Structure 1
Amino acid sequence: MSSAVDILGNIMKRLFSKLALVASVAAASTAQAETFEVSDKTTLSLFGAIELKYNTADEISDTDGSTESSSAYEDNGSSVGFGAVHRFDNGMSGYAEIEFEHNANDSSDGGEVLTDKAFAGLIGDFGEVRAGRFDSIYTNAFYDLVDPFETASLSEESVMEEDNLIAYFSPDFNGFTFELQARVIGDGDNVNESGSNETGMAGVVKYSADTWAVHAGVDDRGAEGEEVNGEWVSQDPVYGLGVAVALTETVDAAARMSIQENLEGSAEGDDTTFYGASLNYNYGMGSVYGAMQQVDPDQGEDRTEFAAGINYDVVENLVVYSEYGSYDPADDAVGDIDTQFEVGAIYEF
């Protein structure tokens, strides 16, 4: 996972600058990527991170709201990845990237290495086309506005899974851009329990000005079905609206609202609404950041979540941070985290 400085920097860069297509390909998942010129037309990159944290958490242990504390020294998403860009004679570029997550604290012989992202695409004056496993355009456009955190992230609405994806990213039209994404699950895929072809669609529209930006979008979650009373039922849509503002050269603010329609019979009623806001102050050697969110189900108790953090750039590529989160779960939500605190370090290469 990137540092909070990088996360906020990437968000504001997407929101407040024009879409630089070729630059977005040349940069892999992290700005620290080492690049190698294989030829005049082909560039390879290597990137990764070691992320460790010490975490303490209070979890709901009984239906009367009692909590039990636990702590752990653990990995927080260490990764290694590879990328490639090939520039064609017609001005377009093809690219590919794969990133693996591993547990840097796992000393067992059978430590798992999992594929986090794997995709390929084509980029040019027409925009960008991408296929594979990558971050959801809906999550990037809305949830990331209020998620500058390494660990203390607030609740997230349900969106389509980040696999079997095909996406299109438009060029910039005087500040306007749009993104489209489809998740295609065929009847031969193991993840498809319906026995038929399923397709989910998502779309986001963005407008960016000099110091502010606004987003609107929808994810129909059409391929996110589940079995209810013996019948395959597709998930209902989630809608989002987000805005970001550069208040000063060092202070950024953002807010978002998402409405998640729930399956019939859900304990949360017809829908659940998420209202969130975040603030980030860059003090030069790092950032102080925080976010608050109201989660309002149609039925049942609403909750107010809060998290804050601070990070510091020790040396180039090395960041240390501390975060606290309070999540206000229901008293009978056994296993849910009530509060947590952590300190951690991230070395990127």
Structure 2
Amino acid sequence: MRLLHTSDWHLGRSFHRVGLLDAQEAFLDHLVETARAERADAVVVAGDLYDRAVPPLPAVRLFDDTLHRLAALGVPAVMTAGNHDSPLRLGVGARLMERAGIHLRTDPAHCATPVVLGDRHGDVAFYGLPYLEPALVRDTFGVTAGTHAAVLGAAMDRVRADLAARPAGTRSVVVAHAFVTGGQPSDSERDIAVGGVAAVPAAVFDGVDYTALGHLHGCQVITDRLRYSGSPLAYSFSEAAHRKSLWLVDLDATGRVHAERVPCPVPRPLARIRGRLDTLLTDPGLAPHEDAWVEATLTDPLLPDEPMARLAARFPHVLHLVIAPERTDPAAPVSYAERVSGRDDQRIAEDFVAHVRGGHGPDAEERADLRAALAAARTGGAAR
């Protein structure tokens, strides 16, 4: 059985206010073409198909078009809801779509009802586990502990019970959206800790041949049978070093796993650069990043004038500016209380300016402005 494992499409998401729908469409073209070229027996998508519960209409159209293209290829798809998706909205029409080979698993109560596909070696049971928010599903699974480990453990107990009742030799795949201990997160995953401890142990998924995971955006291997595909596109600069890909997974007759990565299209590389503005504008070593989406960290002790506009002259796709001035007062007091102890309002204000400027305090005109503002605040009048 050959399957393509992907997750975390986040259709409708932007990247620092840059729309990504064209890049997401290019990825889905790549997915469909890979399924055709590699003769995949199934496509599994482990949650977060959309970026929010009520996605924009262009994202819905793109998703709909992709489902039609997979159905036209005759490639079954098993898809689960992630923590960004609305299970009820995503699951509308699910029973009708099953006739076309599109299997949307969004109801936690049905997590032990598999999609059964066959190859020349026999049956493979695909169990879709949507994102399980402990506070919402603990009663469904009859657990008292409000943790992710408790509800996922109960769901997997049901999966193993169903699998044990099937003919000997039935192979199994679980498609789940969860944070498994040992996985490396990035800055772009929404926290799923609400309602209990976020991470679940890998042993929760024991007893199945392959677990296709979603939620973490970096492609990674927890065990040979437990993998994250990661997101197909970068959604934060913390993913600058990621190599975005799909997993092409083969299950042999005994359920042994062979997996290889299939690279995803890169709409534009990411780059994180750091230094003083003059250096960033002149360093020849930064030339390879001139066509990248750029996050620039400025270390100038004083913030230069119009830094974004000046950076954009060399890096036209600069998207994010971080201010991290080099410190000139390394012996600063440990606590805020120590910094303000015994000081009047004027001194506190001046020291704050020095703090945010990396040790450079206000000049004479700025001190006068601060003095006038403080006086106006005390009297209820207007500063000059």
TM-score, structure 2 length as denominator? 0.27
**Structure with greater helix share of residues:** 2
Structure scoring higher RCO (CA < 8 A, sep ≥ 6) equals 1
Larger radius of gyration: 2
TM-score (norm 1): 0.29
